């Protein structure tokens, strides 16, 4: 009986961590995870989408804060989008002549990001990591969310980061995959599906353009509108349709954070930690109540 009680208490003192899309802002999850560890709360499962997939992987691999920060600074730099994919551009302008293929269409050369991911994660496989990991992408052919929980880490992250128009989709397990945010920018549904009792969800809304003076900014504004509306709609649906407790952590950034502001990563991590500390007392009480209920059942 004592053993069962210990197991129950341990199980109840854990949460599933979901990290939504948000580019470099997702580094805030490093601070959130650190506060959870300091409070003695175990992360039983981690789910990552788009930029969040990178940080979900770092957490699932068990890297400490300093290592995760340093890896972020090496991986997420502006030069990963610096080289144009001229063939893709020509295929868009002259599809019949150049032979347009959806599986190869991305206006930026992805060779550098592929190299960086391989350098950072090597041959690591999702199912072999310290913490169960789920990386989400979107099936380009039907728009459905795809839950990647097995296979090479690098392929899964690259698929989840396949930003439409920027990077080409990824062919994986017979599916053509694009960025996870297209189907759900904050995929708490994955944690719910795998039986999570308490979910800590780190989410970010896409920034709106202050000035729209180019076709690129016009497209980014439309993308932000659609992804933010999708984020709110999916979150509302999951909150109504399921009974798992979801604690949403939305870090407050007083500084403007651009897509590749990696010099602000330490500030972003601190903002994540601060936002988590504001929720930690409630989270502890919730886990204590949940643990006491589980002990009574035992």
Does the annotation mark 179 as catalytic? yes
Of 179, 183, 184, 206, the active-site residue reads: 179
Strands 42-49 and 170-172 come out as unpaired
Torsion of CA 129, 73, 201, 34, to 10 degrees: 70
Of 50, 91, 183, 206, the active-site residue reads: 50
DSSP letter string over 204-221?
A: -PPPPPS---SHHHHHHH
Does the annotation mark 70 as catalytic? no
b/e sequence 76-112, b meaning 16+ C-beta within 10 Å: bbeebbeeebeebeebeeeeeeeeeeeeebbbbbbee
In angstroms, how far is CA 190 from the centroid of its own chain?
A: 12
Among 47, 57, 27, smallest CA distance to 271 is for 27
Q: By 3-state DSSP, what share of the chain in percent is helix, strand and coil, each rounded to 5?
A: 55, 15, 30
Torsion of CA 52, 191, 172, 53, to 10 degrees: 10
Catalytic residues: 50, 179
């Amino acid at each position: 009986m004592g053993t069962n009680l210990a197991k129950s208490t341990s199980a109840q003192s854990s949460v599933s961590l979901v990290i939504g899309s948000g580019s470099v802002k997702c580094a805030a999850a490093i601070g959130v995870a650190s506060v959870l560890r300091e409070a003695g709360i175990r992360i039983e499962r981690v789910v990552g989408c788009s930029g969040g997939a990178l940080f979900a992987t770092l957490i699932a691999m068990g890297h400490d804060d300093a290592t995760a920060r340093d890896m972020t600074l090496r991986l997420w730099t502006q030069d990963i989008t610096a080289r144009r994919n001229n063939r893709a551009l020509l295929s868009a302008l002259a599809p019949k002549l150049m032979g347009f293929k959806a599986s190869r269409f991305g206006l930026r050369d992805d060779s550098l990001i592929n190299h960086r991911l391989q350098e950072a994660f090597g041959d690591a496989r999702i199912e072999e990591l310290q913490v169960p990991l789920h990386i989400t992408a979107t099936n380009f052919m039907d728009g459905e969310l795809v839950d990647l929980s097995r296979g090479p880490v690098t392929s899964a992250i690259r698929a989840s980061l396949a930003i439409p128009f920027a990077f080409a989709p990824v062919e994986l397990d017979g599916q053509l995959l694009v960025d996870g945010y297209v189907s759900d920018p904050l995929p708490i549904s994955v944690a719910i599906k795998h039986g999570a009792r308490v979910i800590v969800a780190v989410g970010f809304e896409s920034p709106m353009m202050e000035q729209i003076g180019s076709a690129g900014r016009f497209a980014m504004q439309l993308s932000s509108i659609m992804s933010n509306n999708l984020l709110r709609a999916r979150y509302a649906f999951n909150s109504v349709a399921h009974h798992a407790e979801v604690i949403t952590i939305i870090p407050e950034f007083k500084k403007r954070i651009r897509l590749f502001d990696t010099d602000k990563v330490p500030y972003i991590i601190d903002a994540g930690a601060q936002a988590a500390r504001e929720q930690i007392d409630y989270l502890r009480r919730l886990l204590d109540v949940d643990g006491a209920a589980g002990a009574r059942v035992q």
